[in-house]
Amino acid sequence: MSADGWKTTEAATGEATGGTGEAPRERASESAGGGAGGVVLRPHAEETFADELAALAAADDRPRPERWRLSPWAVATYLLGGTLPDGTVITPKYVGPRRIVEVAVTTLATDRALLLLGVPGTAKTWVSEHLAAAVSGDSTLLVQGTAGTPEELTRIPADVQDTLVTILSEKTLPIPELGEEVQAVRGFNLIATANDRDRGVNDLSSALRRRFNTVVLPLPGTPDAEVEIVSRRVGQLGRSLDLPAAPEGLDEIRRVVTVFRELRDGVTEDGRTKVKSPSGTLSTAEAISVVTHGLALAAHFGDGVLRPGDVAAGLLGAVVRDPAADRVVWQEYLETVVRERDGWKDFYRACREVTA
Protein backbone atom coordinates (compact mmCIF):
# COMPACT_ATOMS: atom_id res chain seq x y z
CA MET A 1 0.00 0.00 0.00
CA SER A 2 1.52 3.33 -1.00
CA ALA A 3 2.17 6.14 1.43
CA ASP A 4 -0.35 8.39 -0.28
CA GLY A 5 -2.87 5.56 -0.31
CA TRP A 6 -2.41 5.11 3.37
CA LYS A 7 -2.90 8.77 4.20
CA THR A 8 -6.34 8.71 2.59
CA THR A 9 -7.42 5.36 3.99
CA GLU A 10 -10.80 5.50 5.72
CA ALA A 11 -11.88 2.03 6.58
CA ALA A 12 -10.62 -1.39 6.00
CA THR A 13 -12.05 -4.66 5.31
CA GLY A 14 -11.24 -8.10 4.96
CA GLU A 15 -8.47 -9.90 6.02
CA ALA A 16 -7.19 -6.51 6.53
CA THR A 17 -8.75 -4.01 4.18
CA GLY A 18 -8.81 -0.33 3.63
CA GLY A 19 -11.02 2.10 1.78
CA THR A 20 -10.51 5.60 0.45
CA GLY A 21 -12.73 8.62 0.44
CA GLU A 22 -12.77 8.62 -3.33
CA ALA A 23 -15.49 7.22 -5.55
CA PRO A 24 -15.25 3.48 -6.23
CA ARG A 25 -12.86 2.65 -9.01
CA GLU A 26 -14.34 1.62 -12.34
CA ARG A 27 -13.78 -2.05 -13.11
CA ALA A 28 -13.15 -3.33 -16.59
CA SER A 29 -16.15 -5.19 -17.95
CA GLU A 30 -13.77 -7.60 -19.58
CA SER A 31 -13.47 -10.86 -17.70
CA ALA A 32 -10.19 -12.71 -17.50
CA GLY A 33 -9.82 -14.69 -20.67
CA GLY A 34 -13.36 -13.86 -21.63
CA GLY A 35 -12.68 -11.24 -24.26
CA ALA A 36 -14.06 -7.74 -24.52
CA GLY A 37 -17.56 -7.25 -23.20
CA GLY A 38 -17.43 -10.20 -20.84
CA VAL A 39 -19.48 -9.94 -17.66
CA VAL A 40 -17.57 -9.79 -14.40
CA LEU A 41 -18.28 -13.01 -12.53
CA ARG A 42 -18.31 -11.45 -9.07
CA PRO A 43 -18.57 -7.65 -8.94
CA HIS A 44 -17.47 -5.95 -5.75
CA ALA A 45 -20.17 -5.24 -3.18
CA GLU A 46 -20.17 -1.50 -3.86
CA GLU A 47 -20.90 -2.25 -7.52
CA THR A 48 -23.51 -4.96 -7.02
CA PHE A 49 -25.48 -2.91 -4.51
CA ALA A 50 -24.70 0.58 -5.85
CA ASP A 51 -28.40 1.50 -6.07
CA GLU A 52 -29.05 0.52 -2.46
CA LEU A 53 -26.00 2.44 -1.24
CA ALA A 54 -27.09 5.52 -3.19
CA ALA A 55 -30.63 5.30 -1.79
CA LEU A 56 -29.30 4.98 1.73
CA ALA A 57 -26.98 7.96 1.25
CA ALA A 58 -29.88 10.07 -0.03
CA ALA A 59 -32.14 9.13 2.90
CA ASP A 60 -29.41 9.26 5.54
CA ASP A 61 -29.75 12.38 7.70
CA ARG A 62 -27.88 11.06 10.73
CA PRO A 63 -24.39 12.13 11.84
CA ARG A 64 -21.56 10.45 9.94
CA PRO A 65 -18.06 9.88 11.31
CA GLU A 66 -15.40 11.76 9.40
CA ARG A 67 -14.80 10.38 5.89
CA TRP A 68 -17.65 7.86 6.16
CA ARG A 69 -20.04 7.57 3.22
CA LEU A 70 -22.95 6.64 5.50
CA SER A 71 -23.91 7.01 9.14
CA PRO A 72 -23.50 4.00 11.45
CA TRP A 73 -27.30 3.55 11.37
CA ALA A 74 -27.30 3.42 7.57
CA VAL A 75 -24.35 1.01 7.49
CA ALA A 76 -26.20 -1.35 9.82
CA THR A 77 -29.35 -1.02 7.70
CA TYR A 78 -27.34 -1.87 4.59
CA LEU A 79 -26.10 -5.09 6.20
CA LEU A 80 -29.31 -6.16 7.93
CA GLY A 81 -31.85 -4.94 5.40
CA GLY A 82 -34.94 -2.78 5.74
CA THR A 83 -37.31 -0.44 3.91
CA LEU A 84 -36.47 3.25 3.50
CA PRO A 85 -39.10 6.03 3.80
CA ASP A 86 -39.26 6.31 0.00
CA GLY A 87 -40.11 2.62 -0.28
CA THR A 88 -36.67 1.43 -1.37
CA VAL A 89 -36.07 -2.11 -0.12
CA ILE A 90 -32.58 -2.80 1.23
CA THR A 91 -31.82 -6.50 0.96
CA PRO A 92 -30.17 -8.23 3.93
CA LYS A 93 -26.49 -9.01 3.42
CA TYR A 94 -26.15 -10.72 6.80
CA VAL A 95 -28.78 -12.80 8.58
CA GLY A 96 -27.98 -12.89 12.26
CA PRO A 97 -28.32 -11.00 15.56
CA ARG A 98 -28.73 -7.26 15.02
CA ARG A 99 -26.60 -6.48 18.04
CA ILE A 100 -23.57 -8.16 16.49
CA VAL A 101 -23.73 -5.83 13.49
CA GLU A 102 -24.33 -2.78 15.69
CA VAL A 103 -21.29 -3.58 17.83
CA ALA A 104 -19.14 -4.14 14.75
CA VAL A 105 -20.19 -0.85 13.14
CA THR A 106 -19.76 1.08 16.39
CA THR A 107 -16.26 -0.32 16.75
CA LEU A 108 -15.31 1.09 13.35
CA ALA A 109 -16.64 4.49 14.40
CA THR A 110 -14.00 4.58 17.15
CA ASP A 111 -10.25 4.18 16.87
CA ARG A 112 -10.45 0.47 17.70
CA ALA A 113 -9.80 -2.05 14.95
CA LEU A 114 -12.38 -4.79 14.41
CA LEU A 115 -11.65 -8.52 14.51
CA LEU A 116 -14.37 -10.81 13.16
CA LEU A 117 -13.82 -14.23 14.69
CA GLY A 118 -15.61 -17.49 14.05
CA VAL A 119 -15.52 -20.98 12.64
CA PRO A 120 -15.17 -21.39 8.86
CA GLY A 121 -18.25 -20.44 6.88
CA THR A 122 -19.76 -17.87 9.26
CA ALA A 123 -19.57 -15.04 6.68
CA LYS A 124 -16.60 -13.23 8.21
CA THR A 125 -15.07 -12.18 4.91
CA TRP A 126 -18.51 -11.48 3.43
CA VAL A 127 -19.43 -9.16 6.32
CA SER A 128 -16.07 -7.39 6.21
CA GLU A 129 -16.44 -6.68 2.48
CA HIS A 130 -19.90 -5.20 2.93
CA LEU A 131 -18.82 -3.13 5.93
CA ALA A 132 -16.03 -1.59 3.87
CA ALA A 133 -18.34 -1.00 0.91
CA ALA A 134 -20.86 0.85 3.07
CA VAL A 135 -18.33 2.83 5.11
CA SER A 136 -15.84 3.84 2.43
CA GLY A 137 -17.31 2.86 -0.93
CA ASP A 138 -14.29 0.68 -1.71
CA SER A 139 -13.91 -2.90 -0.52
CA THR A 140 -10.85 -3.69 -2.63
CA LEU A 141 -8.05 -2.45 -0.38
CA LEU A 142 -7.09 -5.63 1.41
CA VAL A 143 -4.00 -7.36 2.67
CA GLN A 144 -4.07 -11.08 2.05
CA GLY A 145 -2.67 -13.51 4.60
CA THR A 146 -0.43 -15.26 2.08
CA ALA A 147 -0.55 -15.93 -1.61
CA GLY A 148 -2.19 -19.31 -1.00
CA THR A 149 -4.38 -18.69 2.03
CA PRO A 150 -5.88 -15.21 1.85
CA GLU A 151 -8.81 -15.42 4.20
CA GLU A 152 -7.78 -15.17 7.84
CA LEU A 153 -5.59 -13.05 10.13
CA THR A 154 -4.22 -16.17 11.85
CA ARG A 155 -2.60 -17.20 8.56
CA ILE A 156 -0.53 -14.02 8.33
CA PRO A 157 3.15 -14.65 9.24
CA ALA A 158 4.26 -13.52 12.68
CA ASP A 159 6.51 -10.72 11.38
CA VAL A 160 3.58 -9.16 9.52
CA GLN A 161 1.41 -9.47 12.62
CA ASP A 162 4.11 -7.60 14.56
CA THR A 163 3.96 -4.76 12.04
CA LEU A 164 0.23 -4.43 12.65
CA VAL A 165 0.80 -3.73 16.34
CA THR A 166 2.49 -0.42 15.54
CA ILE A 167 -0.11 0.46 12.93
CA LEU A 168 -3.00 -0.18 15.30
CA SER A 169 -1.52 1.30 18.46
CA GLU A 170 0.42 4.30 17.12
CA LYS A 171 -1.59 4.81 13.92
CA THR A 172 1.65 5.17 12.01
CA LEU A 173 3.57 3.10 9.47
CA PRO A 174 7.35 3.39 9.89
CA ILE A 175 9.50 2.93 6.77
CA PRO A 176 12.99 2.37 8.22
CA GLU A 177 14.62 1.97 4.80
CA LEU A 178 13.63 5.53 3.90
CA GLY A 179 13.86 7.00 7.37
CA GLU A 180 10.22 8.05 7.10
CA GLU A 181 6.84 7.28 8.58
CA VAL A 182 3.30 7.62 7.27
CA GLN A 183 0.58 8.70 9.67
CA ALA A 184 -3.02 7.66 9.32
CA VAL A 185 -5.64 10.37 8.98
CA ARG A 186 -8.95 10.53 10.82
CA GLY A 187 -11.34 7.89 9.58
CA PHE A 188 -8.70 5.20 9.16
CA ASN A 189 -9.61 1.83 10.55
CA LEU A 190 -9.05 -1.82 9.89
CA ILE A 191 -11.13 -4.99 9.84
CA ALA A 192 -9.50 -8.38 10.21
CA THR A 193 -10.96 -11.87 10.09
CA ALA A 194 -9.68 -14.90 11.93
CA ASN A 195 -10.69 -18.54 11.93
CA ASP A 196 -10.86 -19.81 15.50
CA ARG A 197 -10.15 -23.35 14.30
CA ASP A 198 -6.75 -22.26 13.03
CA ARG A 199 -5.11 -22.05 16.43
CA GLY A 200 -1.57 -23.27 16.02
CA VAL A 201 -1.11 -21.98 12.47
CA ASN A 202 -0.05 -18.50 13.54
CA ASP A 203 -1.53 -17.74 16.95
CA LEU A 204 -2.35 -14.09 17.57
CA SER A 205 -0.08 -12.52 20.12
CA SER A 206 -1.77 -11.01 23.15
CA ALA A 207 -0.31 -7.63 22.15
CA LEU A 208 -2.02 -7.76 18.76
CA ARG A 209 -5.30 -9.17 20.04
CA ARG A 210 -5.56 -6.30 22.56
CA ARG A 211 -5.58 -3.84 19.66
CA PHE A 212 -8.80 -5.31 18.30
CA ASN A 213 -12.35 -5.29 19.49
CA THR A 214 -13.37 -8.89 18.84
CA VAL A 215 -16.83 -9.74 17.53
CA VAL A 216 -17.69 -13.43 17.24
CA LEU A 217 -19.88 -14.38 14.29
CA PRO A 218 -21.90 -17.45 15.28
CA LEU A 219 -23.29 -20.23 13.16
CA PRO A 220 -26.97 -19.69 12.30
CA GLY A 221 -28.98 -20.24 15.45
CA THR A 222 -31.99 -22.00 13.93
CA PRO A 223 -32.65 -24.26 10.93
CA ASP A 224 -35.00 -21.66 9.46
CA ALA A 225 -32.32 -18.98 9.65
CA GLU A 226 -29.79 -21.21 7.92
CA VAL A 227 -32.29 -22.20 5.24
CA GLU A 228 -32.97 -18.52 4.59
CA ILE A 229 -29.26 -17.76 4.28
CA VAL A 230 -28.64 -20.66 1.92
CA SER A 231 -31.72 -19.90 -0.21
CA ARG A 232 -30.87 -16.22 -0.52
CA ARG A 233 -27.23 -16.77 -1.43
CA VAL A 234 -28.01 -19.62 -3.84
CA GLY A 235 -30.48 -17.32 -5.57
CA GLN A 236 -27.81 -14.62 -5.96
CA LEU A 237 -25.25 -17.08 -7.28
CA GLY A 238 -27.79 -18.68 -9.57
CA ARG A 239 -28.61 -15.36 -11.19
CA SER A 240 -24.94 -14.58 -11.74
CA LEU A 241 -24.49 -17.98 -13.40
CA ASP A 242 -27.71 -17.72 -15.44
CA LEU A 243 -29.22 -20.70 -13.65
CA PRO A 244 -33.00 -21.00 -13.38
CA ALA A 245 -34.72 -20.05 -10.16
CA ALA A 246 -35.48 -23.05 -8.02
CA PRO A 247 -38.54 -22.33 -5.87
CA GLU A 248 -39.41 -26.03 -5.97
CA GLY A 249 -35.97 -26.78 -4.53
CA LEU A 250 -36.72 -25.47 -1.05
CA ASP A 251 -37.32 -29.00 0.25
CA GLU A 252 -33.87 -30.08 -0.93
CA ILE A 253 -32.27 -26.98 0.59
CA ARG A 254 -33.92 -27.79 3.90
CA ARG A 255 -32.69 -31.40 3.69
CA VAL A 256 -29.11 -30.29 3.04
CA VAL A 257 -29.25 -27.83 5.94
CA THR A 258 -30.74 -30.49 8.22
CA VAL A 259 -28.01 -33.00 7.34
CA PHE A 260 -25.28 -30.42 7.90
CA ARG A 261 -26.69 -29.27 11.24
CA GLU A 262 -27.23 -32.78 12.60
CA LEU A 263 -23.77 -33.99 11.64
CA ARG A 264 -22.25 -30.75 12.90
CA ASP A 265 -24.07 -30.90 16.24
CA GLY A 266 -23.74 -34.65 16.72
CA VAL A 267 -27.45 -35.14 17.37
CA THR A 268 -30.67 -35.20 15.34
CA GLU A 269 -33.03 -32.23 15.39
CA ASP A 270 -35.45 -33.93 17.75
CA GLY A 271 -32.62 -34.68 20.18
CA ARG A 272 -33.42 -38.39 20.24
CA THR A 273 -30.48 -39.83 18.30
CA LYS A 274 -26.81 -39.10 18.71
CA VAL A 275 -24.71 -39.24 15.56
CA LYS A 276 -20.99 -39.10 14.90
CA SER A 277 -19.53 -35.92 13.40
CA PRO A 278 -17.20 -36.03 10.40
CA SER A 279 -13.85 -34.25 10.25
CA GLY A 280 -15.06 -31.37 8.06
CA THR A 281 -16.66 -28.15 9.28
CA LEU A 282 -19.94 -28.50 7.32
CA SER A 283 -20.39 -24.75 7.28
CA THR A 284 -23.24 -22.73 5.84
CA ALA A 285 -20.91 -21.70 3.01
CA GLU A 286 -20.42 -25.37 2.12
CA ALA A 287 -24.18 -25.92 2.14
CA ILE A 288 -24.51 -23.03 -0.32
CA SER A 289 -21.90 -24.68 -2.54
CA VAL A 290 -23.67 -28.06 -2.44
CA VAL A 291 -27.03 -26.55 -3.39
CA THR A 292 -25.57 -24.32 -6.12
CA HIS A 293 -23.80 -27.32 -7.65
CA GLY A 294 -27.03 -29.29 -7.50
CA LEU A 295 -28.92 -26.47 -9.17
CA ALA A 296 -26.37 -26.46 -12.00
CA LEU A 297 -26.80 -30.21 -12.42
CA ALA A 298 -30.58 -29.83 -12.56
CA ALA A 299 -30.31 -27.03 -15.11
CA HIS A 300 -27.82 -28.66 -17.47
CA PHE A 301 -28.58 -32.37 -17.09
CA GLY A 302 -32.10 -32.49 -15.69
CA ASP A 303 -35.43 -30.75 -16.01
CA GLY A 304 -34.43 -27.66 -14.05
CA VAL A 305 -36.07 -28.83 -10.83
CA LEU A 306 -33.72 -29.45 -7.91
CA ARG A 307 -34.09 -33.06 -6.80
CA PRO A 308 -32.34 -35.39 -4.30
CA GLY A 309 -30.07 -36.83 -6.97
CA ASP A 310 -28.76 -33.37 -7.79
CA VAL A 311 -27.48 -32.65 -4.27
CA ALA A 312 -26.40 -36.16 -3.26
CA ALA A 313 -22.96 -36.09 -4.89
CA GLY A 314 -22.17 -32.66 -3.46
CA LEU A 315 -23.22 -33.81 -0.01
CA LEU A 316 -20.93 -36.82 -0.23
CA GLY A 317 -17.99 -34.60 -1.18
CA ALA A 318 -18.70 -32.15 1.63
CA VAL A 319 -19.08 -34.79 4.34
CA VAL A 320 -16.44 -37.35 3.36
CA ARG A 321 -13.14 -35.50 3.61
CA ASP A 322 -11.31 -38.41 5.23
CA PRO A 323 -12.02 -41.36 2.89
CA ALA A 324 -11.81 -43.89 5.70
CA ALA A 325 -13.24 -42.37 8.87
CA ASP A 326 -15.74 -39.96 7.32
CA ARG A 327 -17.21 -42.58 4.99
CA VAL A 328 -18.09 -44.72 8.01
CA VAL A 329 -19.72 -41.72 9.70
CA TRP A 330 -21.74 -40.93 6.57
CA GLN A 331 -22.92 -44.47 5.97
CA GLU A 332 -23.96 -44.87 9.59
CA TYR A 333 -25.91 -41.62 9.44
CA LEU A 334 -27.68 -42.71 6.26
CA GLU A 335 -28.74 -46.04 7.74
CA THR A 336 -29.71 -44.92 11.23
CA VAL A 337 -31.24 -41.50 10.51
CA VAL A 338 -32.00 -40.81 6.84
CA ARG A 339 -33.38 -44.26 6.00
CA GLU A 340 -36.01 -44.10 8.75
CA ARG A 341 -37.13 -40.52 8.18
CA ASP A 342 -40.58 -39.99 6.67
CA GLY A 343 -40.56 -38.38 3.25
CA TRP A 344 -36.82 -38.93 2.73
CA LYS A 345 -36.93 -42.21 0.76
CA ASP A 346 -35.85 -40.64 -2.56
CA PHE A 347 -33.13 -38.70 -0.77
CA TYR A 348 -31.88 -41.86 0.94
CA ARG A 349 -31.76 -43.79 -2.34
CA ALA A 350 -29.91 -40.99 -4.12
CA CYS A 351 -27.30 -40.75 -1.35
CA ARG A 352 -26.86 -44.52 -1.21
CA GLU A 353 -26.33 -44.62 -4.97
CA VAL A 354 -23.51 -42.08 -5.02
CA THR A 355 -21.97 -43.51 -1.84
CA ALA A 356 -21.79 -47.01 -3.29
Q: What is the predicted pLDDT for the residue at 131?
A: 96
Binned at pLDDT 50, 70 and 90, residue 330 comes out as: very high
Q: What is the CA radius of gyration of the chain?
A: 22
Q: State pLDDT tens for residues 203-246.
A: 677 888 888 999 999 989 899 999 999 998 898 888 888 886 65
* Mean pLDDT value across the chain: 83
pLDDT at 346 over 80: yes
Who has greater pLDDT, 132 or 157? 132
Q: State pLDDT tens for residues 298-327.
A: 989 988 889 999 999 999 999 999 998 999
Q: State pLDDT tens for residues 187-208.
A: 888 998 887 765 545 667 788 8
Mean pLDDT of 256-276: 95
Q: State pLDDT tens for residues 26-48.
A: 333 343 444 456 677 788 999 99
Q: State pLDDT tens for residues 95-109.
A: 999 999 999 999 999
Cα–Cα distance for residue pair 307/294, rounded to 1 Å: 8
Lowest-pLDDT range, 3-17, 50-64, 196-210?
3-17
